[in-house]
Structure 1
């Protein structure tokens, strides 16, 4: 499974306004709910916030990768958001977050597939060109193109 297998245009938003990481996560969870990826916003958000308690998912450079493993998740997916105003995420580099990739992981899944996808995503986000492209991205096609070009090179 690759990043593009999980990244869906229905779960992308370039207009999210929020005052906190939890509010961002709730708004992104709504995209999952609307697309049938989760069956309960509250249960899913609880799993993501529980994961946040173990350590920040703010990976630096204004990017966060929150994720939650929950029985409320019907299928693995990745949602993308570009925030109108950066929010504090307790990121490793202390910077506020404006780009968020959120993963949904089915709770009963003993598969390590989500760890592989998370690792792939983290690797891509260590590439300065990818970060710059994400910051400049204006629409959903831009996001897909960023990962299409990177996956074809690798």
Structure 2
């Protein structure tokens, strides 16, 4: 499964307002709920927050990739947010985060789906030029093109 198959313009927010990691995850979960991808938003948010307890998803360079597997997720999906203000995420480089790519994975999905999407996103986000384009994009369609 490829990023382009699971990222759509209706799950992109270029000016997300949030003050904390938890608030960001909650707001991004709404993007999945609006698309009818979750049967239980609260259960999904809990799964993502539980994942954060084990180790941070703040990968550095102002980027976080929170993700959760849950029975509440109907099909694999990605949401993208550019935050209006940087927030603390306990990132590996100890710097605040301004770009968030969140993955929603059904509990029943094989590890391969989860790992292939996560791997593809992580590799793309190591490209400094691509990250700069994400920071400067002016539309959801641009974001999908850049990450796709």
1:56-135 maps to which residues of 2 (within 5 A)? 56-135=56-135
Unaligned runs of 5+ in 2: none
1:112, distance to aligned residue in structure 2 (A): 1.7
What is the CA deviation profile of residues 16-59 of structure 1, one whole-angstrom value per residue up to 9, with x for unaligned ones?
11110010000000110110111111100000001001100001
Matched-pair contact (CA < 8 Å) for 2:71–2:108: yes
Aligned residues: 148
TM-score, structure 2 as length reference? 0.96
After the TM superposition, list the runs of 4 or more consecutive aligned residues in structure 1 that deviate by more than 4 angstroms: none
* Runs of at least 5 residues in structure 1 that lack an aligned partner in the other structure: 149-154
Q: Partner of 1:27 in structure 2?
A: 27
Per-residue deviation at 1:108? Answer: 1.9
Deviations 1:79-137 (A, max 9, x none): 00011011100001111111100000001223421111100100000111111111111
Higher relative contact order (CA 8 A, sep 6+): 2
TM-score, with structure 1 as normaliser: 0.93
